[in-house]
Amino acid sequence: MKEKKQNCQKNQDTESVASSQCQVTRRAVLQGAVALGAATVGGMALNLTVAKQAEAAERAMPQTWDETIDIAIIGSGFAGLSAAAEAADKGGAVIIFEKRSTYGGNSIINGGEYNAWDDELHLRQQLKLGDDSAELHKNDTLKGGDNYGSPELVEILTAHAPEALNWMIDNGGLKLRNILNRTGGHTAYRTHTCEEGVGRGYTEAIKKIAVGKGAKIRLNSTLKWIWRKDADPQSPVEGIEVQTGRRTKNIKITKALILASGGFSRDIKMRQSFNPSIVPEFNCTNQPGATGEVIRNAQAIGADALQMAFIQLYPYAEPETGMLDAPAVYPFRGPGYGIVYVNRKGKRFVNEMERRDVVSMAQIKTGMKPTYSIFNEAMIPKMGTMEEVEKGLAKGRFIRAATMAELAKKLQISANVLQETIDTHNRYLAAGKDPDFGRQFTKAMIPLLDGPFYAIAQWPAVHHTMGGLRINSEAQVIDIWGNPIPKLFAAGEVTGGIHGDNRLGGNAIPDCIVFGRIAGTSAQKAG
């Protein structure tokens, strides 16, 4: 899947410059060309929305403002909270606008996995899990996205991931489990898990920092429009229109607007317009608010978006609902410790160490829903806690059996086939070579010899949108001509160009927090 670069712009990954056609287009925009649907004169606001859409209506710039604040942040997940924490550090009015009735968005229900090549606890060294480095993490991330990601942005993400993790530990009270996983697509054990086992462990830590520095959160507050006069490179964002309940307010922004609203996985029409293969029949792991309108609002004022066709499936979601609950993270954590994936016939179908898109496509090609992860009790302390597993068993999410034959019976799989599959995998693990699928074995992996044995059903669901707004190293939003839009910043899943066509699991949280902190710091300098 290779998206064509269609915009006239200075791309991060090409040496081309804006063509004369683009220069004419800019001139036309500045003159208020009707063809672009932009009214830029006579007190009208910039609107580059395609004509004949409801959002394309002409809008007059506010004559008066209902409120004035220094920094507005849209979205209260990892990125928005991190931006608020840094933006509020030097004082001034910093307000997070969250459209839902609770804070946290997708972040609070995230699987709780954070990739960093080191941490102040030095877990990798303590657990004797080999070597790692920022360079290795960077290379894995670029390769995992088929080199579509920006090397500059990926280097920032991986280099600063440990620092951001330590920041939450030291200032927010974040606690980590004493485990470290090597997950699909990674060549080292670097995936950390918070004590809570879900994203709330991180959001609570960052929220504590942000609120402690004076940032405020307004719930039930939906961004309706971004006010900008014209597309001139010197023309800044001036304010936002926000709806709270039945009341709509125009809020003037003196320093900066930071967009941290997440992706568009829940907007089926938007997904289909960029990638028709992500059909409506796929479930989705996201909360209902992941609908992408903030990206469209930013595009209306000239923001560039890229790689919008890159949409990720999470291969381990609950098969019927698409839920990403605590049990659904075990198949993700397990590859570094020997977990085995099998289809409904009891046979392996993929290299368990592969990245998410490869595993998802392999599952779909089996033509049999669902597939299963098989593990034993010895692996549980490496992946999570017995308490979590017991809760999962009570809900019917995990299946337990004393023997492999009993497990096969409960899964309605041939006992002989499943036993042969596991025996073969055990032999491959002992020999250190997998001639069937090329699995990379390590000394930390545990053979499936002794029970009790466990299984969990899994199936792909829409999970992450890698495409979004184009940003630079300062988290400034770049316009379609390659220039930063004054006073506009973005971080997290609302942005694109970092992960390429596939995000490695565990990279989302450091992406959001590292670039959220950068956006907040940059915003303080913008006014």
Residue pair 47/230 in contact by the 8 Å Cβ criterion: no
Residue 478: how many other CB atoms lie within 10 Å? 25
Residues 324, 329, 335, 336: is their CA dihedral positive or negative?
positive
Phi, then psi, of 161 in degrees rounded to 5: -60, -45
Cis preceding linkage at 151, omega within 30 = no
Catalytic residue among 177, 355, 356, 397: 356
Phi, then psi, of 260 in degrees rounded to 5: -145, 45
Residues 51, 56, 62, 65: is their CA dihedral positive or negative?
negative
Residue pair 55/256 in contact by the 8 Å Cβ criterion: no
Residues 48, 53, 58, 63: is their CA dihedral positive or negative?
negative
Report how far Cα 250 is from the mean position of its chain's Cα atoms: 30
Distance from C-alpha of 520 to C-alpha of 491, rounded to nearest angstrom: 9
228 is catalytic: no
Residue 97: which H helix or E strand, with range? Answer: strand 94-97
Distance from C-alpha of 45 to C-alpha of 62, rounded to nearest angstrom: 9
The amino acid at 309: A
Distance from C-alpha of 493 to C-alpha of 84, rounded to nearest angstrom: 16
Nearest to 360, CA basis, from 384, 332, 382: 332
Distance from C-alpha of 277 to C-alpha of 364, rounded to nearest angstrom: 12
Q: Cα dist. 146→7, 141, 150, 357, 445 in Å?
A: 21, 9, 11, 11, 27
Residue 311: which H helix or E strand, with range? Answer: strand 311-317
Catalytically active residues are 356
